[in-house]
């Protein structure tokens, strides 16, 4: 934890500024994987298999691409700012995947009245876990890519 805190501290003269996030890089990083995952979920659901939403935790691995694309596209000066962008983009990706799963499950899968509470709890858990896991995956892979790309320059 100490190493992570030391790595995220900004350099002298620079301040980590949330208002200067590179939203274009974050948007670019999220839209590609989210588009393809949404296309798969909607397509497979239309073919009569709405259970594809149960594979949503596998889609969280696409957050690795989100972290990589944030590092490649970001124009931020600070390394820690780039990693913050990757983490936030990964968290948003996890949120969007969870919302897509809840939407498809609610529309295409019948839920009995006595199962409503359990379905709600599972949906909330999947939503929160998706945000946290995707943010961590995007941060971790963004860090790996950042170190690798700095070594090449």
pLDDT tens, residue by residue, 100-147: 999 998 888 888 888 888 888 988 999 999 999 999 999 999 999 998
Whether 17 is in a domain gets the answer no
Whether 138 is in a domain gets the answer yes
pLDDT tens for each residue of 11-41: 555 566 667 788 899 999 999 999 999 999 9
Whether 14 is in a domain gets the answer no
The CA distance from 66 to 86, in Å, is: 7
Confidence class for position 78, pLDDT limits 50, 70, 90:
confident
Whether 98 is in a domain gets the answer yes
Whether 29 is in a domain gets the answer yes
Whether 66 is in a domain gets the answer yes
Query: Token pair 């498809």 is at which residue?
Result: 104
What is the domain extent for residue 133? 24-152
> What are the structure tokens assigned to 10, written together?
């900004």
Indicate the number of domains in the chain. 1
């Amino acid at each position: 934890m100490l190493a992570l805190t030391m790595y995220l501290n900004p350099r002298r003269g620079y301040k980590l500024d949330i208002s200067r996030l590179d939203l274009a890089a974050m948007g670019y990083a999220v839209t590609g994987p989210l588009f393809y995952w949404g296309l798969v979920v909607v397509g497979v659901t239309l073919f009569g298999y709405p259970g594809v939403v149960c594979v949503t935790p596998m889609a969280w691995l696409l957050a690795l691409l989100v972290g990589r694309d944030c590092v490649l596209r970001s124009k931020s000066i600070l390394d820690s700012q780039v990693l913050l962008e990757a983490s936030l983009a990964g968290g948003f990706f996890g949120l969007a995947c969870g919302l897509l799963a809840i939407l498809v499950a609610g529309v295409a899968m019948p839920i009995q009245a006595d199962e409503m509470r359990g379905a709600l709890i599972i949906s909330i858990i999947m939503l929160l876990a998706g945000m946290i896991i995707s943010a961590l995956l995007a941060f971790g892979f963004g860090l790996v890519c950042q170190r690798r790309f700095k070594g090449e320059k």
